[in-house]
A and B are shown apart, each in its own frame.
Chain A
Amino acid sequence: MGRVKFNIWRGNGDGGQLQEYSTEISEGMVVLDAVHQIQAESAPDLAVRWNCKAGKCGSCSAEVNGKPKLMCMTRMSDLPQDKPVSIEPMRAFPGLKDLVTDVSWNYRVKEKIKPFKPRKPDNDDGTWKMKQGDIDRVQEFRKCIECFLCQDVCHVLREHHLHNEFIGPRFMVYTAALEMHPLDTEDRREQLKQDDGIGYCNITKCCTNVCPESITITDNAIIPLKERVADRFYDPILNFFRLFTKSDK
C-alpha cells in the first residue's frame, strides 16, 4: 500500500500540536498497527492506550480524521491516503499525554446512578424468573464496551463541556439498561431529569453513529427514557388518569 503520512497529536495536559510522521503500510493494517509501527520506528515516547486489539476492550479510542473511532477497528485501507491521516485524542476529556486521555470522569458519573433494585425473588432459593423476550431489549445495552466514543462525539460534552449537568449517552444507555430491566423496581425518572440532564440531548444521533458495538443509543435508550420522563413530568393528562390506576413504576 506504500508509505503514508500521519499527523499525530503530541502533547500533555497543558497543550500540544500535531506532528508529522510517515510509515510503510501493508495490507490488513489498522490504524493502531500504524501507530505502533511509528512508535517502533520514530517516536518511542508516543503514548497510546490499547489492550485487546479486537474492538472489545474500548481502550484505543481516538479521533481518526476527525471522527471518533477505535484505532484497532479502523482499517488503513478504508482511509484516504492522498492526504495525511490525522490521529488526535478524544476532545471531550482532559489530555494526559499524546493520544491518552483521562476518562475517569465517566467512572465518577457511573457511581451516582441509582443502582439495580430487583423485586423480591420469585423462588424460595432466592432466584428470579424472567422471559427472554423481556430481557432482549436491555441485552442490547449490555454490549457496551465503555470506549466512550459516544461521550466524545456528543456535542453537549465535546463542544459545551457540560460535564457537570449532563451524564452523556454512555450513561443514558447504562440507565436504560437498569430502568427497563424486567426485575428492576427503582424509579430513575426524576434523577434523569434533574441530575442527569436528559433534556440536554437534542437527538443528533452522533452517539449512535460512532458506536463500535452498533448499539442504537438514541432510538432504543435515550428517546425511550425521554418518553418515560415525559410520562412523569410533561403529560398532565396521563398523570390525571394515573390517579385512578395502578402506576407502572
Chain B
Amino acid sequence: MAETNILFERRGFGQTSRKDLWWVQPVSVFLGLSAFIVYATWAAFQGEYYAFGNYLSPFYSPEIFGSSPHSIFGPKPDWWPMIVPFSPALLILWAPGGMRFTCYYYRGAYYKAFWADPPACSVSEPRKKYWGENRLPLIMQNLHRYFMYLAVIFVFILIYDAWKGLWFVNAATGEEQFGLAVGSIVLAMNATLLGGYTFGCHSFRHLVGGFKNQLSKAPVQRTLYNCSSCLNRRHKNWAWASLFWVAFSDLYVRLCAMGIITDLRFF
C-alpha cells in the first residue's frame, strides 16, 4: 500500500472544528437504543401478560414453550434447568436481536453512539488503536446474513400473528369470527414495519440479486433487487420505526392482558 505522512496530529477526544450541534445525533441514538434495550430486557424476563385472546406479543412469538394458548409445544419443559430463569421470549429473542445487532445501519449508529468510533463525523475519538471489523469479536458481524435468514422466517410468523389478530372468539357461540380491533391494527403494523426493515436489509438486497452483475438476464431477481433497493433507501427509517413499534406492540398486548386498557373493537 502507498505511504503518506500526515501533517495534522490527532486531537483529543471530542475535539473538532465543527460548529453545529454534532453531539445531538449520537446522544439521541444512545438514548433511543438504551431505552429499547432496557424495555425489551424487562419485558423478556416477565414471562407473563404476553398474550391477550388472539393477540401474542411479538417479543414472545413464536411461543415455543409457554403457558399461553399460543404455545406450540405446551408449557415449560421439565428438563429446563432450575437455575435458569424461564421466559418464552428468551428462547427466541436472540434471533431478531442478532439481526439488529449485526445490521449495517445499527452498526454504524452504535459504533458512534456507544463506542465513539467516531463520536460523529470529523470529531476526534477517545482511542488510538483501531481494528475495525477485521478481528474478533467484530469480524463476527459478517454473519449478519444468517440472522437475516432467521429474520425472514420471523416476518412470516408475525404476519401469521397479525392474521390471527383478526379472528376473535364469539363469546356466545364459541366460534371464531373475523373482526377488527385496535390490537389487530397494532400487530398488522408491526408485521409491516418489520417486513419493510427485513426486506430492505443490505444482506437481503445482496441475496436476491445484488451479487449479480447482469440482472437483465434474471428478470425475477431484478424485480426483487429493485424492490429491496427501494426499501433499502429508507433502511434507517424502517429500522427505527420497526424498533419502536415492536416494543409498542408488546406494551399494548401487555396492558390489555393486565386489564389496564381495553382493546377497542370496531366490528
Task: Write the residues of chain A forming the contact surface with B, with a CB cutoff of 8 angstroms.
Answer: 11, 13, 15, 63, 65-68, 80, 83, 86, 88-89, 91-95, 101-102, 105, 108-109, 112, 131, 133-134, 153, 155-156, 158-165, 167, 180-182, 184, 195, 197, 199-206, 209-210, 218-219, 223-224, 226-231, 233-235, 248-249
Among residues of B, the one whose C-beta sits closest to the C-beta of A180 is B213
Q: Are A88 and B107 CB-contacts (below 8 A) given A163-B3, A164-B1, A234-B142?
A: no
Among residues of B, the one whose C-beta sits closest to the C-beta of A79 is B19
Q: Given the complex, which residues of B lie within 8 Å of A228, measured CB to CB?
A: 206, 211
Closest CB-CB distance, B218 to chain A, in whole Å?
10
Q: Do B206 and A66 touch (CB < 8 A)?
A: no
Closest CB-CB distance, A26 to chain B, in whole Å?
22
12 contacts between A and B (CB under 8 A): A63-B122, A67-B20, A86-B19, A92-B6, A102-B4, A164-B1, A184-B213, A199-B139, A202-B107, A203-B111, A230-B142, A231-B206
Partner of B130, one of A15, A89, A200: A200
Which secondary structure dominates chain B's binding surface? loop
Known pairs A195-B1, A223-B104; list 4 more (Cβ under 8 Å).
Answer: A67-B20, A105-B2, A203-B105, A248-B211
Partner of B3, one of A11, A80, A156, A164: A164
Chain B interface residue count: which class? Answer: 35 or more
Q: Are A109 and B17 CB-contacts (below 8 A) given A202-B111, A210-B121?
A: no
Q: Do A159 and B125 touch (CB < 8 A)?
A: yes
Q: Do B203 and A200 touch (CB < 8 A)?
A: no
A67 and B16 alpha carbons, distance in the complex (Å): 9
Among B7, B19, B104, B124: residue with most chain A CB under 10 A: B7
Q: Do A134 and B215 touch (CB < 8 A)?
A: yes
Among residues of A, the one whose C-beta sits closest to the C-beta of B216 is A131
Q: Do B112 and A94 touch (CB < 8 A)?
A: no
Among residues of B, the one whose C-beta sits closest to the C-beta of A158 is B122
Among residues of A, the one whose C-beta sits closest to the C-beta of B4 is A105
Q: Do A230 and B145 touch (CB < 8 A)?
A: yes
Partner of A203, one of B5, B104, B118, B203: B104
